[in-house]
């Protein structure tokens, strides 16, 4: 009876055939993706070389990439990337440390939610950028205010992602867990958390993007280090290749950050995609 | 029927009522929305009791109460002489909507229940394999629930409960999503398991034929409020095959009777057992 029933359903590929498919598929995917990027770079180069766009304002890609190389070779850009990451990572980390438990607490307690809820709502709709001067006034122009900015910008997506995730936990899973004899902490760790993880991860990715955005702005306004500072300083010096070099590096940092988070996410959420 | 007077009671529903807090939208009154009203029923040791009833009459609510997942508003449930207040390892539930964890593979869904029950890791592998073979899903062990059909999920949920080797098995329309062939196979398997392991089973269905071919007694419920209208003792032998049951001279009459009670619960004249 079993064979006849299961035969009708498409079998998922075994892990081996999946690996083979991936091995064939990845180069092809990389090729098609890089083709578009390559085209963009070519257009950039041409626009500038032909003078369609003033090369003073848009130096050719080749010049910019040479500047990136130079920046890394001398360690100048490395130092600023490290400075930016040194603010983004702790900011994001603290946001995670506060956002997830706060989200849990707000979802767990209705009275807390009605009490703090409106505050959260007002604060999260207050742009972090608008608060930049406030942060600077309160915390100075040092690292603390930058990290605090990232923290503030990253907190809300994580908080909302956590609350969303908890709201999405099917009561039936809780029932099943309870019927198996789980309760309290175990129920929470083994069922509530894994069930809300997808939404929390989405929150983290949005938080990373928001954090980087705000960080660059903060670095532009009041800092002596970081990619935002480099972009701003280079522009003031009319070192446009240097400015574009920093922008390019910033894009790559953002892209890599997101890709890394996606990688972690797909690892933990294999069950959704496989 | 005669032996039942001496059979020990495993699970007793004692004048059980359950209401949910009324929401004004649903038109409830201050006392709440009464879902189950004065349910009184004894389930005997090793009995296979089937509950049939129309949709929304409170069958799942009743099973939740027996599982210890919610508490009655009035009356109580007694398991081996003690009031049920929480879930216990001797009871296992097959939920109406499978209740599989989507983030775990089929294997891990079952192993998770075994871990929760304190079965050592080494013994788990063996047990998971055995119950998956029982429901014909050996090949699906590494799949995630979203890669299974509804019927396969149902079979995993059944396997998960069986792996716990419960003394009391509570099943909420467990064969609802299966095709007729698979359903009959699993019905026969469930009867075999029941006979072999001396389980007490409460089985919910809305399918009269299923009720007749599985149970020893059939409790018929009515709706609004949910109540037990009649309990019918079935004349079939515990080891009778489904075909024997279906061709039994009383089958047709029983089937008609249960149908009639379900459609017109207020016209029942027979005394409630
Ligand atoms: N948590 C709840 N809060 C309020 N009302 C509920 C709740 N759970 C169930 N009910 C109500 O109780 C009644 C019985 O529900 P239940 O799920 O027990 O029915 P059922 O007999 O299992 O139906 P079905 O055959 O469709 O599964 C329904 O009217 C439902 O609206
Ligand atoms: Mg139900």
What is the average pLDDT score of chain B? 87
pLDDT range class, residue A10, cuts 50, 70, 90: very low
Which ligand number lies closest to the CA of residue B19? 1
pLDDT at A141: 80
pLDDT at B31: 66
Q: Which of B7-16, B43-52, B183-192, B239-248 has the highest mean pLDDT?
A: B43-52
Query: Which residue's CA is minimally distant from atom 27 of ligand 1?
Result: B55
pLDDT at A274: 57
Sketch out chain A's domains with CATH numbers. Answer: 9-58 (no CATH), 59-273 (1.10.3720.10)
Q: Which helix (H) or strand (E) holds B37?
A: strand B33-44
pLDDT at A257: 92
A173, B103: Cβ pair inside 8 Å?
no
Find the mean pLDDT for residues B198-218: 92
Contacts (Cβ under 8 Å, ≥6 apart) of B169: B91, B92, B94, B161, B162, B199, B200, B201, B202
What are the pLDDT digits (tens) for A234-248? 999 999 999 999 999
**Chain B residues with CB-CB distance to A197 below 8 A:** 103
Q: Where are the domains of chain B?
A: 2-90+167-263, 98-165
Q: If contacts are CB pairs under 8 Å, which of residues 68-87 in chain B contact chain A?
A: 68-69, 87
Question: What is the architecture of the domain spanning B2-90+167-263?
Answer: 3-Layer(aba) Sandwich (3.40)
Query: Which DSSP letter does residue B71 get?
Result: -
Reported ipTM exceeds the 0.85 cut? yes
Regarding the beta carbon of B56 and ligand 1, being less than 6 Å apart is answered yes
Above pLDDT 90, what percent of chain B? 44
pLDDT at A25: 67
| Burial of residue A98 (number of CB atoms within 10 Å: 0-12, 13-18, 19+) | middle
> Of the given ranges (A161-175, A234-248, B200-214, B250-264), which has the lowest mean pLDDT?
B250-264
Residue A40: pLDDT over 50: yes
Residue of A nearest to B163 (CA): A180
The answer to whether B139 faces chain A, any CB pair under 8 Å, is: yes
Helix B106-116 × helix B150-163 angle, to 10°: 30
> Distance between CA atoms of B169 and B148, rounded to whole angstroms?
24
* Residue entry with tokens 């009154």: B29
What's the gap in Å between the CA of B104 and the closest CA on chain A? 7
What are the pLDDT digits (tens) for A62-117? 999 999 999 999 999 999 999 999 999 999 999 999 999 999 988 888 888 888 88
What are the pLDDT digits (tens) for B66-75? 999 999 999 9
Please give the backbone phi and psi of residue A210, each rounded to the nearest 5 degrees, phi first. Answer: -65, -40
Q: Which atom of ligand 1 is nearest to the CA of B57?
A: 21
Pocket test of ligand 1: the residue of B19, B59, B71 to mutate, having most ligand atoms within 8 Å of its CB, is B59
A222: left (phi over 0), alpha (psi -120 to 50) or beta: beta
pLDDT at A13: 41
Residue A209: pLDDT over 90: yes
pLDDT at A271: 77
Q: Which two tokens stand for residue A101?
A: 């438990």
Decide if B220 contacts B258 (C-beta within 8 A): yes
What are the pLDDT digits (tens) for B99-147? 999 999 999 999 999 999 999 999 999 999 999 998 889 999 999 999 9
Find the mean pLDDT for residues B205-209: 91
């Amino acid at each position: 009876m079993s064979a006849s029933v299961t035969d009708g359903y498409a079998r998922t590929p075994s892990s081996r055939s999946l690996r083979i498919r991936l091995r064939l598929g990845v180069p092809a995917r990389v090729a098609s993706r890089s083709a578009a990027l390559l085209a963009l770079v070519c257009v950039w180069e041409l626009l500038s070389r032909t003078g369609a766009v003033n090369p003073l304002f848009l130096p050719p890609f080749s010049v910019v990439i040479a500047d990136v190389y130079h920046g890394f070779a001398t360690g100048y850009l490395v130092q600023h990337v490290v400075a930016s990451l040194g603010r983004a990572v702790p900011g994001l980390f603290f946001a995670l440390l506060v956002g997830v438990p706060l989200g849990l607490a707000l979802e767990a307690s209705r009275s807390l939610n009605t009490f703090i809820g409106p505050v959260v709502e007002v604060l999260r709709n207050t742009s972090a950028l608008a608060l930049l001067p406030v942060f600077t006034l309160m915390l100075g122009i040092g690292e603390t205010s930058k990290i605090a900015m990232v923290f503030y910008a990253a907190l809300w997506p994580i908080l909302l992602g956590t609350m969303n995730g908890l709201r999405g936990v099917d009561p039936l899973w809780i029932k099943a867990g309870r019927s198996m004899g789980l309760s309290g902490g175990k129920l929470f760790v083994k069922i509530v958390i894994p069930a809300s993880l997808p939404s929390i991860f989405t929150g983290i990715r949005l938080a990373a993007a928001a954090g980087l955005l705000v960080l660059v702005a903060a670095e532009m306004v009041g800092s002596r280090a970081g990619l935002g500072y480099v972009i701003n300083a280079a522009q003031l010096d009319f070192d446009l290749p240097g400015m574009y070099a920093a922008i390019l590096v910033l894009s790559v940092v953002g892209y890599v950050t997101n890709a890394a988070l996606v990688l972690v996410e797909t690892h933990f959420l294999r069950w959704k995609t496989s | 029927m005669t032996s039942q007077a001496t059979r020990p009671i495993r699970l007793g529903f004692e004048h059980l009522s359950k209401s949910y807090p009324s929401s004004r939208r649903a038109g409830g009154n201050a006392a709440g929305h009464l879902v189950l009203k004065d349910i009184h029923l004894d389930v005997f040791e090793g009995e296979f009791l089937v509950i049939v009833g129309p949709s929304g009459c409170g069958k799942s609510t009743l099973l939740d109460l027996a599982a210890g997942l919610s508490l009655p508003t009035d009356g109580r449930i007694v398991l081996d002489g003690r009031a049920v207040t929480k879930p216990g390892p001797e009871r296992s539930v097959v939920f109406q909507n499978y209740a599989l964890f989507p983030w775990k593979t089929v294997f891990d869904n079952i192993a998770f229940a075994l871990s929760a029950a304190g079965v050592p890791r080494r013994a788990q592998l063996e047990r998971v394999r055995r119950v998956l073979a029982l429901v014909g899903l050996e090949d699906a062990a590494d799949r995630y629930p979203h890669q299974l059909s509804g019927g396969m999920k149902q079979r995993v949920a059944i396997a998960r409960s069986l792996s716990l080797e419960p003394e009391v098995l509570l099943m909420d329309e467990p064969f609802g999503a299966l095709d007729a062939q698979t359903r009959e196979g699993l019905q026969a398997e469930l009867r075999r398991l029941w006979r072999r392991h001396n389980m007490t089973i409460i089985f919910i269905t809305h399918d009269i034929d299923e009720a007749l071919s599985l149970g020893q007694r059939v409790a018929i419920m009515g709706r609004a409020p949910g109540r037990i209208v009649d309990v019918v003792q079935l004349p079939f032998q515990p080891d009778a095959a489904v075909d024997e049951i279906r061709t039994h001279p009383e089958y047709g009459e029983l089937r008609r009777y249960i149908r009639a009670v379900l459609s017109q619960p207020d016209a029942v004249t027979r005394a409630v057992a």
